[in-house]
Amino acid sequence: MKIALGQINPIVGDIAGNTRKIIAAIQQAQRQGAQLALFPELSIIGYPPRDLLLKPSVIALMRDAVETIAQACAGCAAVVGFAEPNPARVGRPLFNAVALVHQGNILAVQHKSLLPTYDVFDETRYFEPESKVELTPFCGSMLGLSICEDLWNDEQFVERQLYHANPIGALAQAGAGILLNISASPFTTGKHAFRQKLFGHQARRWGRPIVYVNQVGGNDELVFDGNSMALDAQGQVIAQARDFAEDLLIVEVAADSSASAAMPVAGAARPRDGIAAVHAALVLGLRDYAHKCGFKSVVLGLSGGIDSAVVAALAAEALGPANVVGVSLPSRYSSSHSKSDAAALAQRLGISYETVAIESVHAAMETALGPIFAGTVPGLAEENMQARIRGNILMAMSNKLGHLLLTTGNKSEVATGYCTLYGDMCGGLAVISDVPKTMVYTLARHINQLAVDAGRPAPIPESTLTKPPSAELRPNQTDQDSLPDYDTLDAVLQRYVEQEKSTWDIINEGFDRDTVLRVARLVDLNEYKRKQMPPGLKVTSRAFGFGRRMPIAQRYDARAMAKAPETPVP
């Protein structure tokens, strides 16, 4: 069977636009001889639709869209994702569904069995899980239709099963010749390699080819990497779609056989990994967030430091240099190299560059607050005035000129509260809020190397890469006045935030006890700041945002966990 993998970039809620995109891809697939075209999970509305699913009008429009797509399938059938009502009086109101449509008819509908409720997923809020699987006959083959998570619960492969069933095994045992999976699987570092291993294991275990289509594009915090693929019955990848871009991949699959021939789109690149994949995800996430929210341009503060330099470079690549405005906001403490590095960066990137000195505003605020602050020792409040002045100016530019304001704080700063609420946290998108400081440097060098390889000057000045990082809110300030060195800090944060290890676990790995306790306390104390920051693009397994639901008013004591447990933790 010749199958097209319709790797599309839907806009959440744009049912009419997504339907047109699906129909255009079906028509292209038919011209290339495909008999069946697959599209991602909930492709008609885009993933994740969240509480749009609570609107009855949305559910009705999706059903209409399925019928419209069915009418467009004259020669090539399609498999599309949508949500449909649950007719039962008990249970969640909807099913996460996949429909096979052809020649004006809805030939089959299958519901998702496994509903994720971890990390960024909350599907049981809306959907009822399906308890049974059914085969779908088409073109002389028995198809096994499944949706995303249904493919992820192999008891021989995953360390801890979250569900009691393996729908893929059930489909194979029922006699499916080809296993089809439509997905909306967001990017995190290393995830695509894990997918290949898991899907390869499933294909080998059940002796069936697997055809997997994934959504691509950025939707709010999530970035979907595409990387749709087909595997033969021996678990070998026989066709691979592009990463971080729309694609239509045609593959010929023989049921119950390894004799399959792949016909990929000409020039398709191998999937990127490591820092190259993070870079691609951030560019795509930024571009889609701006465009899907209606912004054509962005503005950001340029401090001469590494974080703003990386965000500026990502923005220039995502939106084009002509649509990026960098603003230098020097204070009495700004060094000459900070100003010159910011100007050099802007010139090399080809972005607009403005300077708005904040000294007069800073002095005016000090004068206005002088009587109230009299008798107190100057400290953090006075330092933060500068960040808040800068945030106010940048927000004014955003409001007046219609730019999306980008924040430049990295994950290490956001984790420890080394950022100013209503100051450098002001903005519409926190581009690198899930990128640890040490990774920011790796990303900067990667960006520079890409430019050099393309025959252009490296955009980020070497001095920006080598000078000690500083907020420059007081004389001779460096980040390490307040924080551990970033190698140590990021290692502790990775364990405490992403792996949820106790302080004892981390100390027991050889980290300094006082450092671990100080970092843990900073993380826990600054939850209130993170709740008020703009959405940030997720690239790691555990990002700050709606996937990490920590309370603000709480008394969890990380210090009490800094001793050997009396009983072993299972």
DSSP state string for 314-331? HHHHHH-GGGEEEEE---
Gap between the Cα atoms of 391 and 518, Å rounded: 28
Gap between the Cα atoms of 345 and 324, Å rounded: 12
Nearest 10 degrees: CA dihedral of 53, 58, 59, 64?
A: -150
Residues serving a catalytic function are 41, 112, 148
At residue 335, the pLDDT reads: 80
Q: Is the dihedral of CA 469, 500, 533, 441 positive or negative?
A: positive
What are the strands, taking DSSP E only, across 66-201?
77-85, 94-102, 105-111, 136-138, 141-147, 178-183
CB 435 within 8 A of CB 442: no
Of 115, 107, 117, residue with least CA distance to 86: 115
Kindly list the distances between the CA atom of residue 342 and the CA atoms of 132, 320, 354, 457, in Å, as whole numbers in the listed order: 60, 18, 10, 15
Whether the bond into 48 is cis, omega within 30 of 0: yes
Q: ∠ CA 40-46-51 to the nearest 5 degrees?
A: 135
Amino acid at 110: Q
At residue 327, the pLDDT reads: 97
- Strand arrangement, sheet containing 247-252: 105-111, 94-102, 77-85, 36-38, 2-7, 247-252, 261-263
Kindly list the distances between the CA atom of residue 398 and the CA atoms of 4, 290, 315, 331, in Å, as whole numbers in the listed order: 43, 13, 15, 21
**Cα 29 from chain centre:** 29
Query: In the chain, what is the greatest distance between 2 CA atoms, to the nearest angstrom?
Result: 86
Alpha helix positions (H), 158-222: 167-174, 191-206
Amino acid at 278: V
Q: What is the pTM of this model?
A: 0.94
- In the chain (570 residues long), the average pLDDT of successive 10-residue segments reads 97 98 97 97 97 96 97 95 96 97 96 94 95 92 95 82 88 96 97 94 95 97 97 94 96 69 50 96 98 98 95 98 97 84 96 96 94 93 93 97 97 94 95 97 97 95 87 70 88 95 94 94 94 96 89 84 66
Residue 22's H or E segment, with its range, is helix 15-31
CB 254 within 8 A of CB 211: no
Of 276, 283, 226, 289, residue with least CA distance to 9: 226
pLDDT in tens, 515-539: 999 999 999 999 999 999 999 999 9
3-state SS class at 254: coil
Nearest 10 degrees: CA dihedral of 41, 43, 46, 51?
A: -70
CB 136 within 8 A of CB 107: yes
What residues contact 90, with CB distance under 8 A and at least 6 apart? none
Give the HSE-up count for residue 113: Cα atoms under 13 Å, Cβ half-sphere. 22
At residue 111, the pLDDT reads: 97
At residue 259, the pLDDT reads: 43
Nearest 10 degrees: CA dihedral of 1, 103, 88, 134?
A: -20
Q: Exposed/middle/buried for 120, CB within 10 Å: 0-12, 13-18, 19+?
A: middle
At residue 255, the pLDDT reads: 72
